[in-house]
Amino acid sequence: MNIKEIKELAKKFTPEQLENCITQAIENQGKSECYWGDDVLEVVNTLSKAQTVRELMEQGMSEIEAIRELARRIRQIQGLEK
């Protein structure tokens, strides 16, 4: 997880813009107006994480709190945390 990229995307784009970029990346083999790369899954993964961080920030969390919450959710899904 490249936290720097996620933070930059979360600051620059709204959740709706990031959702559109996810759709673009899927349709255009990893290229969108927000972010692009060679691996579609990596691009979608990064954009999805940025979208989650931005949504949490809009709910009142600080940037660092939102990133910590994202990491907690990822660990929970992976079964590393309950």
Query: Domain boundaries in the chain?
Result: 3-77
Cβ–Cβ under 8 Å, residues 61 and 75: no
Number of residues written out for the chain: 82
Instruction: Please tell me the predicted confidence (pLDDT) of residue 63.
Output: 96
Instruction: Please tell me the predicted confidence (pLDDT) of residue 81.
Output: 63
pLDDT per position as a tens digit, 2-57: 899 999 999 999 999 999 999 999 999 999 999 988 899 999 999 999 999 999 99
Q: Looking at per-residue confidence, does 82 or 59 come out higher?
A: 59
Instruction: Give backbone dihedrals phi and psi of 36, rounded to 5 degrees, phi first.
Output: -150, 160
Q: Record the pTM.
A: 0.89
Q: Looking at per-residue confidence, does 81 or 5 come out higher?
A: 5
Distance CA 28, CA 11 (A): 24
Instruction: Please tell me the predicted confidence (pLDDT) of residue 2.
Output: 87
